[in-house]
Amino acid sequence: MNNDRQYIIVEGVIGVGKTALCKMIGQRLNAQTVLEKHDENPFLADFYKDPRRYAFQTELFFLLSRYRQQVDEIPQSDLFAQHTVTDYLFSKSRIFSSITLDEREQTLFNSTANLLESDIPVPDLVIYLQSSPQRLLRNIKLRDREYERGMNPDYIETLVEAYNHHFFRYSASDLVIVNASTLDFVRQPDQFEDLYERVMNAPGGLSYYNPATGDN
């Protein structure tokens, strides 16, 4: 395992299993685990009911909440003392804002994000779990969160496209793109073991893991 990768982020679209994988990797590494507090966003349920009306409030709350959490819970000194694993990349705010906000709102939002990003630690490794919209919708239905029950499938498809666009151009740190469409690493320990070994020993830069073929 590459022990120089102290700060690890697991990312992916809603329902892909990023929080579960983050917890599992954190436990394996005996790491500090920092999870996004999406349930604390008071606008989220309203956003899913009326996206146009509540998009800006929702995205701004997430941006400030992520900033506060990253600064308070992931101080730079700790990154050199132990492993830290989180289930979101700070720049994900830009992914969501690009599809939920109008042009004027996005200009204001990005100006605010630019001011905050300089304080955010850069990860050593990002694991992007990529999946199909169909699999994501099935996972969302199975976990049955009340505010997600009326989620528009078109929104998930748009998110998948936006995430792919973002991460296929991402270069800030080492990145492993994982084809998670057929994975069930929570219920299949052998799948987790293989995924863990592959991503933790991946070469620097950009690499891919396709469990169907074993390619890395």
Residue from 178, 173, 174, 139 nearest 156 by CA? 139
Q: How high is the pLDDT of residue 164?
A: 96
Per-domain residue ranges for the chain? 7-209
d(CA 113, CA 202): 30
Query: Mean pLDDT across the stretch 94-114?
Result: 95
pTM: 0.91
Residue from 133, 137, 128 nearest 195 by CA? 128
Query: Mean pLDDT across the stretch 173-189?
Result: 94
Query: Mean pLDDT across the stretch 8-27?
Result: 96
d(CA 189, CA 186): 7
Single-letter amino acid code for the residue at 208: Y
The first and second tokens of residue 52, run together, are 């146009």
Taking 70 as the threshold, does the pLDDT of residue 76 lie above it? Answer: no
Terminal C-alpha separation, the chain: 15
CATH match for 7-209 among 3.40.630.40, 3.90.1300.10, 3.30.1330.20, 3.40.50.300: 3.40.50.300
Nearest-Å Rg of the Cα atoms of the chain is 17
Confidence tier at 88 by pLDDT (50, 70, 90):
very high
CB 13 within 8 A of CB 155: no
Query: Mean pLDDT across the stretch 63-74?
Result: 90
128 forms beta bridges with 11, 177
pLDDT digits (tens, 9 = 90+) for 109-145: 999 999 999 889 899 999 999 999 999 999 999 888 8
